[in-house]
Structure 1
């Protein structure tokens, strides 16, 4: 029978530079599937608060009209790259769709680095606080290598080298650039239902307070979200820490996440990578 820490021991025997894809895939698909997917949601959600990003999203309008499709398309593209690798035909196709989606706009390079940094740092910090075990050093470095490689292939420049450099950039960039704009507030209201859907049914009545508790003070200020009551902040923290302790005692996951492919609500009958992203219609 596979032990609870067998994957960790396996990860620690791998090389985070050479084997970054294998390590990051294990972290997502076997060790922390729920945590990593929620943390990816939070990372993208945070990047929407950057003033230039929020303004662009409001101008293009897609995320306001179809937040679920926008989120599903982005998630599928990123998971296809992670599951297959940047050099696999499906990974290359997903990268091409990512490039085509971004090519239509004049993106600020600093904002693009920040989005990569959010995808590296926020999941690892979430696991540090709420994972059934903290992320190992190899997992942090593998995440940094993976998103550095993705960034290089979509033309992002001056990407930090290593997890510590990503974290330093992330914190410094937020101090300078994360602040409230009306556009960011509109984006948060439009996408809030996506986070509501991750809250268990019996707690949906308290969803707005719990979502506010998922945000920290800088993000609440950027989105003009009121500070939630103490019961929501303390209750969410206690529930997540209790879950982590219980999972630490549980058996390892038998079937990896996405073992049967990526499933998204927008595409109940499956999807064609060629049709994903802005400017493409479903078929």
Structure 2
């Protein structure tokens, strides 16, 4: 994603719905989990889901991260399950709370998976930083509005608390610091590796499969490339999208943002744990998510 995109102003009338009124009354230093949950389930549900997809995509540009994922072979053999498991574990924590019974079980399952491998703390911190930075950047570019300063602070504090429960060390104290770390890390570690390409190709086609029939996935690939900045594409060995396609997609998302400003705000939560998934047609147990020895 491009960095330092100017923020979009918040239309005054958009503060009137109950959810945004509720956020306005909360203290991000204390109620960061509730603010993050309202942003995720009500205010920016579609945008945050897309942004987190691209956040994960960025992590595959780091050979030490993609190499570990390739070693397990989970992304290559069971791409949809691996994607669903990651999304469900993160969704369980934000929907129920990190200290809730389900939240604790989800974090324990995530830590058990990571604990099987010797993962560099900087790599873990970088992955965490993408979950913080990419939704903020996405909304600056494509959302009906940007996050407010209060919302950004709460979003940061939510993931900072999650990082602590994951045992990640040296998490920065504020958003500016982790934004800076994110950019510095990418500049130092983004480089091409075959494992980057393999994991990214599987994920690219999986995400396109949510919108296109299998036989049309090849036609949608340039649309994915249109959202990737040059260093990210180079590290994965992907070609640039045609300029006309990129302009068309950016214009379409800009139009969507303008239309959203005219529509009523969401009044029912969108919870990713409730979405039907072919991977788990009969539901799932948290302890069965993810990878095992």
Shorter-chain-normalised TM-score: which range?
A: over 0.9
1:162 corresponds to 2:185: no
Is the 8 Å Cα contact of residues 92 and 273 (structure 2) preserved in structure 1?
A: no
TM-score normalised by the chain length of structure 2? 0.90
Q: Give the distance between the partners of 1:164 and 1:265, measured in 2 at CA.
A: 39
Give the 3-state SS of the residue equivalent to 2:171 in structure 1. Answer: coil
1:20 equivalent among 18, 26, 32: 32
**Which residue number in structure 1 is paired with residue 184 of structure 2?**
172
Report if the CA contact (8 A) 1:76-1:262 is conserved. no
Q: Is the 8 A contact 1:195 1:211 kept in 2?
A: no
Q: Contact 2:91 / 2:272 at 8 angstroms: preserved in 1?
A: no
Q: Displacement of 1:264 after TM fit?
A: 3.0
In 2: Cα distance, 1:130 partner to 1:205 partner: 25
> What is the correspondence of 1:49-60 to structure 2 with a 5 Å cutoff?
49-60=61-72
Partner of 2:282: 269
Aligned to 1:79: 91
The separation in 2 between residues aligned to 1:12 and 1:138, in whole angstroms, is 8
Give structure 2 stretches of 5+ with no counterpart.
Answer: 1-12
Q: Does 1:112 align with 2:106?
A: no
**Match for residue 234 of structure 2?**
221
For 1:233 and 1:52, locate their aligned partners in 2 and report how far apart those are by CA, in whole Å: 30
Q: 1:198, CA displacement in angstroms?
A: 4.5
Deviation at 1:260, TM superposition (A): 7.6
Match of 1:131 among 123, 127, 143: 143
* Superposition map of 1:1-283 within 5 A: 4-5=14-15, 6=17, 7-199=19-211, 206-258=219-271, 261-279=274-292
Distance 1:67 1:263, change over 3 A: same
Aligned residues: 277
**Deviation of 1:191 (Å):** 1.4
In 1: Cα distance, 2:218 partner to 2:245 partner: 12
Q: Relative to 1, partners in 2 of residues 1:222 and 1:270: Cα closer, same or farther, differing over 3 Å?
A: same
In 2, Cα distance between equivalents of 1:57 and 1:205: 24
**C-alpha distance in structure 1 between counterparts of 2:273 and 2:76, whole Å:** 31
CA distance in structure 2 between the partners assigned to 1:221 and 1:47 by the alignment:
14
2-side partners of 1:216 and 1:26: how far apart?
Answer: 30
CA RMSD of aligned residues (A): 1.8
Q: List gaps (5 residues or longer) in structure 1.
A: none
Measure, in 2, the Cα distance between the counterparts of 1:94 and 1:34: 22
Per-residue deviation, residues 21-45 of structure 1 (Å, max 9, x unmatched): 1111111111111111011111011
Q: CA deviation at 1:193?
A: 1.7
Normalising to structure 1: TM-score of the pair?
0.93
| Alpha-carbon displacement from aligned partner over 1:108-166 (angstroms, at most 9, x marks no partner) | 10010000000000011000110011111112111111111111111110011221111
- Describe the superposition over 1:171-228 as per-residue Cα deviations: whole angstroms up to 9, x where unpaired: 1111111111111011111211222134467x96641110000111111011111011
2:93 and 2:104 in contact (8 A); partners too: yes
Is the 8 Å Cα contact of residues 91 and 273 (structure 2) preserved in structure 1? no
Shift of 1:279: 1.5
